[in-house]
Amino acid sequence: MDLMEYKAKELFCKYAIPATVGIVADSTEELVEKCQHIEYPVVVKAQVLIGGRGKAGGIKFANNISELKVTADSIFGLDIRGHIVKKVMVTEKSEISKELYLSIMLDRNTKCPVIIFTPMGGVDIEQTAKENPDAIFKVVIDPIIGLRDYTARYLASKANLTEAQYLELNDLLKKLYTMFRECNCMLCEINPLAITVDGHLLALDGKVSIDDSGLKRLPDLLAYSKCQEKHPLVEEAEGFKFLYIPCDESGNIAVMSNGSGMIMSCIDMISKNSLSVRASLDMGGGATSDRIKEAVRLILSDINTEMLFINIFGGITRCDEVALGIKLAIETYHINKPIIVRFEGTNKEKGLEILKDLDKVTYVNGLLEGVSEIVRQNKG
């Protein structure tokens, strides 16, 4: 679960991480009412779960209550890359001298938390990684040893921080890591982490992702998650006990499998070939042909998804049930999009027999061959 900025900052404050706090409202009238006695100038920020708010007009400034009303009116209802603004936050405008980037994320390769830090904050970390990779510093945290003072000392040296700023960074890092562990986070990001004109560190923006499986131990965040508007296909998938995961809005490929590990492997391999996965769907185990029919229909119902890669290791989920489900989806819902299929396991030969006469369906013998076929058909 991804948190909106205002909720991420509430967590920061709970863990005594220095951050700009804000006033949040669901309408211009409510916002103006709540902001009668605040000091100006302020920053007015759209609350949506997507980047690029500033470029889309979702972050503006106001110098008085009249400007705040006009600015809020212009932001509420704004469509930011498919996300409609329904909440707006007002926060104080901070005078800053420098912007840094700091995050802690769960790294799949090391299976450990990793700190990512750069003195070049305020922009997309992906952009910095491409244009100036030497400016990004990564430190793996051994969960047994934990965070040590020398880590902050090392990062502070890369940003030429003063001794006082090093001490603030060390304290902030420890609090952020405590939050990361206690809140079952997958990502805790501060961008920008500002150095104010008086030399102190301050989190101006925050992005936090929580592991869904840990929400039951976090009652406040669980309540928050139940109030959030869900992607319509996520909600529909839950009705079938599927897990639908939106990935990259610019992608045109969907991946379907029966396990998160298999899905991540597919996404990684597709991404390495400079293609993007738009969404993935985890069917779980033991799916019948009727359920697979609905899974295929659901994930291909997005008009921007042009191709589906199904990668199944058949055990409880039989290969002939997978093939029959694909056939039923094509025949019932008149699906005409390319489907690339790879399965291994129980009743594989029966499954292949079902697939052989289906137009637009291509069987491959493995993940690498499947990705090669995706690349070939995309070029075509």
Query: Catalytic pick from 168, 189, 294, 321?
Result: 189
CB 190 within 8 A of CB 206: yes
Tokens of 218: 């976090």
Q: What are phi and psi of 366, to 5 degrees?
A: -175, 175
Query: Catalytic pick from 15, 101, 244, 363?
Result: 101
Angle, helices 319-333/289-299, rounded to nearest 10 degrees: 50
Rounded-to-integer distance, Cα 236 and Cα 243, Å: 10
Rounded-to-integer distance, Cα 277 and Cα 271, Å: 7
Residue 281 burial by CB count (10 A; 0-12/13-18/19+): exposed, middle or buried? buried
CB 296 within 8 A of CB 256: yes
**15 catalytic residue (yes or no):** no
Name the strands in the sheet holding 42-46, side by side, starting at the edge strand that comes first in the sequence: 22-25, 88-92, 42-46, 59-62
**6 catalytic residue (yes or no):** no
Task: State the catalytic residues.
Answer: 101, 189
